[in-house]
Structure 1
Amino acid sequence: MLHLRIIVPPENTTATVKLIESTVGTAHLVVLPGAARDPAGDVVMCDVAREAGDELLNELRDLKIDQDGAISVENIDFSLSRRADAAEKEAPGEPADAVIWQQLADETHEESTLSATYSAFMILATMIAACGVVLDNAILIVGAMAVGPEFGPLAGVCTAVVQRAPKLAARSLIALLVGFAAAIAATTVFSLGMDALGLFSMERLDADRPNTSFIWQPDPFSFVVALLAGAAGMLSLTSSKSGALVGVAISVTTVPAGANAAVALSYGQLGQMWGSIEQLLLNLFGIILAGVLTLYCQKLLWRTQRGQWRRTPKA
């Protein structure tokens, strides 16, 4: 379930309480008159089943509570309450299938912002992958995939397309493009430095690499895996399954492809460089396409079920 803490202007408290009381899937309603100081107002708290959370949040925003007051949402990890159990049964569907669109937009906004930390993770992940490419070490490649933060901006692009949010789309694309450009440029310099130290060599790059040669040789399976990973990634975000998201991160060769492009560029191996870039673009397109389609399917599913819990009388 979700816990809502709402600061409400006194003139809207009655309407807010009636809304919560008439919404299927709510429980534990608490009203504290005059408890809020900044902004001033009443504090209203309740728990709501995740399946009904998005609808209730939209109704609260229709009352302009987010503009004149505040709405805070927290996940309840554990609760002992017969009323909470009854509320979850009242709300149709399963909690894992519910999408809280405002929460998704907020999460992708945070994860898709170009920052020093995001850029550092991108650069470090690409450098780790470069070592894996030269050493033909699959463990390093997997490690680089797990470290790479690129799925945040990719999810931001998908969410922006479905929610028609051009600002989020622009922010996500900037983070994605600038992040990869900076990572490839830094890794090219890193590769030259490693070559000067005798740790990288053209012979290693040109040698048979059975564990990592797929990185710069895209094929239909690359696109299929990207599609599957994009769908799984969006499902993991909307259902808050972070463990699944880690699995997605190590299934698609975005960061390793950028690393192979950087190392190949440092040695003037344009064939490998362009093959790596093609692999990178193919995977990015596949993830975005699948992510957008997944969100549209989820949105359609919940739109068809919305009438089942939209302010129906409680028993």
Structure 2
Amino acid sequence: MRLVQLTVPTGKRQTILETLDDRGIDYVVTDEESDRDYTAVVYFPLPAPAVEPVLDELQEAGVGEDAYTVVVDAETVVSRRFEALREEYEEGDVESDRISRQELQTEAESLTPTFGVYSTMTIISAIVATAGLLLDSPAVVVGSMVIAPLIGPALGASVGSVIDEEDLFVESVAYQFIGIIFAIGAAAVFAWSVHVTNIVPPGLELAEVDEISERLAPDLLSLAVALGAGVAGIVSIATGISVALVGVMIAAALIPPAAAAGIAIAWGQPAAAIGSTALVFVNVLSVNLAGLLTLWYLGYRPESLFELGPTEKRVRKRVVGLVVIVLVFSVFLGAITYSSYQAGNFEENAREEVILALDEEEFEQYQFLEIEVLMDEDYPIQSPERVIVTIGGPPGETAPGLASELNQRVEQHADGDVDIEIRYVNIVEE
């Protein structure tokens, strides 16, 4: 529910009150004696979905931006006429539950802090995420997402596009790309400092840290996170629901990959940063694409009908551009996904070959215990580099021909040379 406070311009009092009467809206009028260009202030409650059409109709009646219009939340309204008004506008779906275009713009602008606060909080969140990744701590990584101020610019670009507020669009786009640069830069500087000061073990391998390695070789499922965050963010802001948790989801799509890219740069492995950097950009673009489509679906349009055609054309161009770029990045992520799929198949085939080899009569005294496939460090598209096979057998015995047998069997499933390492575990049966 909303309470609208509207200043009545000189000569428009009767027109405004007739408009409200025609709509069946209760109102209270107080005379204004400040000797300015308006003669009264009218107060009236509205259901949230009714704010936009009513304000648009009043604007057509002559209430322009030179008059003050204040929309505030109302906790309770007790009125039969208000209940009838609510039944008229509230249909129980997302489209009818959305806030007005005017409130949407205000909400989008309020979610974006000043540049100093935005840059500071982005840098801090990137540093915390970097520490969490190096510690291999999911809890710390989640904490970095909570403080990241990314939801405002991520949603502001979509809002500015559909309601034809180019200043909001340009500012939001600039904030997003500056945020990406600051996040990756801060992560790289922090990671380099802890690396050279040996705060982390000198021999730390990025591939051995799960929180890092999974972001250096992202797959197509990452798109689902970004698209879901974009839709959820817009639905939250458009329906007046708290966006705090959705902000964490958007940060989850951006901050950890940016931190992983910074770590790879600090470790002197710029090629390893390609996958995570691509993930950051594709996530940013996907959030904007999902937000843009969702806002248009919810029915948000420019204030003036004369601006509808140009705005619709501009939105269509931006959607097409975003779709093309996201598809290009998706091909890249698809290649990484296919590489992971091939690695999974290789491990399964290698396991089967080892079991079959040990089933042969000359190796029947040995038992298969475990297989581990180690990937190379050619991020983001990795290939199997070494296979470690652990088998059990009688104490002090080895199988001289087993290594060559396994090497022949396993390599037929690999695209290149793969080293085979056999580890023996003594098994004593009593």
TM-score range, shorter chain: 0.7 to 0.9
Specify the alignment match of 1:311 in structure 2. none
Contact kept? 2:105, 2:159, Cα under 8 Å: yes
Distance 1:50 1:205, change over 3 A: farther
Match of 2:51 in 1: 53
Q: Which runs of 5+ in 1 are unaligned?
A: 302-315
Name the residue aligned to 1:62. Answer: 60
CA distance in 2, matches of 1:186, 1:38: 52
Give matches, 1:225-304, under 5 Å: 225-242=225-242, 245-247=244-246, 249-250=248-249, 252-299=252-299
Q: Distance in 1 between matches of 2:231 and 2:154?
A: 12
What amino acid maps onto 2:168 in structure 1? L
Structure with the higher fraction of residues in helix conformation: 1
Residue 77 of structure 1 pairs with residue 75 of structure 2: yes
CA-CA distance at 1:261 after TM superposition: 1.3
* Partner secondary structure for residue 91 of structure 2: coil
C-alpha contact 1:113 1:175 (8 A) present in aligned 2: no
TM-superposed CA distance for 1:208, in Å, is 1.9
CA contact (8 A) 1:114 1:174 kept: no
Cα deviation for residue 249 of structure 1 reads 2.1
Report the AA paired with residue 152 of structure 2.
Answer: G
Aligned residue in 2 for 1:308:
none
- Matched with 1:90 is 88
CA distance in 1, matches of 2:179, 2:281: 14
Long gaps (5+) in structure 2: 302-430
Q: 2:154, 2:288 within 8 Å by CA — same for their partners in 1?
A: yes
Structure 2 letter corresponding to 1:265: I
Using the alignment, how far apart are the partners of 1:10 and 1:151 within structure 2? 41
- Give, in whole Å, the separation in 1 of the partners of 2:259 and 2:4: 44
For each residue in 1:103-139, what CA deviation from the matched residue of structure 2 results, as whole angstroms up to 9, or x when unmatched?
Answer: 1112212334651111111111111110111111111
Q: Which residue is equivalent to 1:180? A: 180
The superposition leaves residues 43-67 of structure 1 with CA deviations (integer Å, 9 ceiling, x where unpaired) of 1110011121111122233345343
Would the aligned equivalents of 1:31 and 1:43 in 2 still touch at CA under 8 Å?
yes
Alignment match, 2:215: 215
| CA deviation after TM superposition for structure 1 residue 299, in Å | 0.6
Contact 1:157/1:169 (CA < 8 Å) preserved in 2? yes
One-letter amino acid of the counterpart of residue 229, structure 1: A
Q: Distance between the aligned counterparts of 1:212 and 1:294, measured in 2?
A: 32
SS at match of 1:136: coil
Query: Which shows bigger deviation, 47-56 or 264-273?
Result: 264-273
Q: Please report the TM-score for the alignment, with normalisation by the length of structure 1.
A: 0.86
- Name the counterpart of 2:335: none
Cα 1:204/1:114, change in 2 over 3 Å: farther
Residues 171-202 of structure 1, C-alpha deviations (whole Å, 9 max, x = no match): 11111111221232233222233234432356
Query: Deviation at 1:247?
Result: 4.0
